[in-house]
Amino acid sequence: MTKESQTKPNKWLIILGPSITVFLIALGFVWWDRGAFPGFRPTLYERSITEISLNDRGVRLKGMARYDIKTKQLDDHDQLMYYIFPLVPLDDINSKTIHVMVRSKIPPDDLAMIEERTVEGVTKPPTRIITTDLRRSWMRLGYRFDKRFVLVDSFDDELKNP
């Protein structure tokens, strides 16, 4: 074996190694963030609205969607319209504490102010999506946000009715 043939695999390793490493790190981050590989759903766990946290990735929630403020949001990244609303516990529909906000592609009924919903999705921190103005709008109606409130980004094929 010549010295030249021994160095060729090292060149490929130098060229492909960093790209593969970056790809695997990005894939690992997405898996950690969503709880599943891209294109797959995480395992769904039944959670109550008051016990949900950011440690839960895939969740299934049942509650009452409040449409006191009908909020639409255009996502600049994928040019889709999303609807944002709080989900309150079924046993306390007059609750003024918001534990969960839902971001869904399914528009609410124009005439409904409250609706029973089952939501399946991924929990996320609400920082960029739930703006300060949106929080203030809900607070003006007498609502308050729980210290640990989370955003649930619902899946596309979310069940409209339980």
pLDDT at 60: 93
Confidence bin at 127 (pLDDT 50/70/90): confident
**Which residue's structure tokens are 């003024």?**
96
Residue 158 has a CB neighbour count (10 Å cut-off) of 16
Are residues 101 and 153 in contact, defined by beta-carbon separation less than 8 angstroms?
Answer: no
Q: What domains can you pick out in the chain, each with its CATH number?
A: 1-40 (no CATH), 44-154 (2.40.50)
Q: How far apart are CA 3 and CA 36, in angstroms?
A: 45
Using one digit for the tens of pLDDT, what is the confidence trace for 50-69?
A: 889 888 888 999 999 999 88
Mean pLDDT value across residues 70-90: 86
pTM of the predicted structure, to 2 decimals = 0.74
